[in-house]
Homo-oligomer: A and B are copies of this chain.
Amino acid sequence: MFTGLSAFPLTPMNETGIDEKAFVRLIKRLVEAGVDSIGALGSTGSYAYLTRDERMRIAQLTVEYAEGTPVMVGIGALRTRDVLQLAEDAQKAGASAVLLSPVSYQRLTDDEAFSLYEAVAHSLSVPLCVYDNPVTTHFTFSDELHSRIARLPQVRSIKIPGVPADAAEAKARVERLRALIPADVTIGVSGDPLAAIGLNAGCDAWHSVLGGLFPKTCLAITRAAQAGDAGAAERQSALLEPLWLLFRQYGSLRVAATAAELLGWVEGSSLPLPLQTLPSDARRQLREFLDRSELVG
């Protein structure tokens, strides 16, 4: 479940609701490409902006169209109460796993975050992936806390926010965390620009924003790394540098939503206001890259 390429699709929406047809089209692309798993309602899927009913609907649609591809569903919310409900919903919808971030408004203490994972882990019958993303959740995990949480029942993977850009430092970072967690808990890297380095450094999975749009491109990088061809993985990732530049500057979600719009896969801006797609200059850069690259699948 928690190895290889996990592709995170957008949840296309507007101010009145979700665009279910566009969402299903995105899921079908992932299934056809043969991704290892689908991460519905990740940050890229804008889980935090949707109602409980909308999240249930997206979980159901993903499982329905996944054709057996394992589906992981994001269940993050501010309140433990709501997370427990979302976990139940995701399991009812047929999710193979859940992804839980410690979303915060009041900054959480380590004990509060642990208590959240503890309550949820004991309620689950499917595996849980810990979602560590300090930029959006505003919570910073210590390795000590990761170690405590990784020992809870059902916890089987940690999605880390990224790795150092230097290959040796990345390897050291992954090994340091690996030494602190049980052997059956995998490590997945996110932060697409450095994902090839993360995979080469020993991460078991890549949780990919770009993979939600261009699964074949991201599978090629993943398979190269898995085959031990670190150079090929890094070279293929380097071809995407113009994209990574935009990711760093505007955030991956705005870039992915704009790419989907430029390619005609969604109608207009598919982000919830006040979020906006790319401004005109960046939009032009993205269009030029999409036109000239072979980033088609």
Contact = CB atoms under 8 A, between A and B. Distances in A.
Which of A15, A78, A275, A279: most chain B Cβ within 10 A? Answer: A275
Given A79-B49, A81-B15, A109 B272 contact: no
Contacts of A251: 106-107
Contact of A105 (B79, B102, B103, B273): B103
Given A78-B48, A107-B251, A276 B115 contact: yes
Interface size on A, as a range, is 20 to 34
A20 interface: no
Given A49-B79, A78-B49, A276 B112 contact: yes
Copies in the complex: 2
Chain A interface SS verdict (over half): loop
A111 B273 contact: no
A77 to B, nearest CB: 9
Contacts of A15: 80-81
Contacts of A109: 276
Interface of A: 15, 43, 48-49, 78-81, 102-103, 105-109, 111-113, 115-116, 119, 135-136, 138, 251, 253-254, 272-276, 279
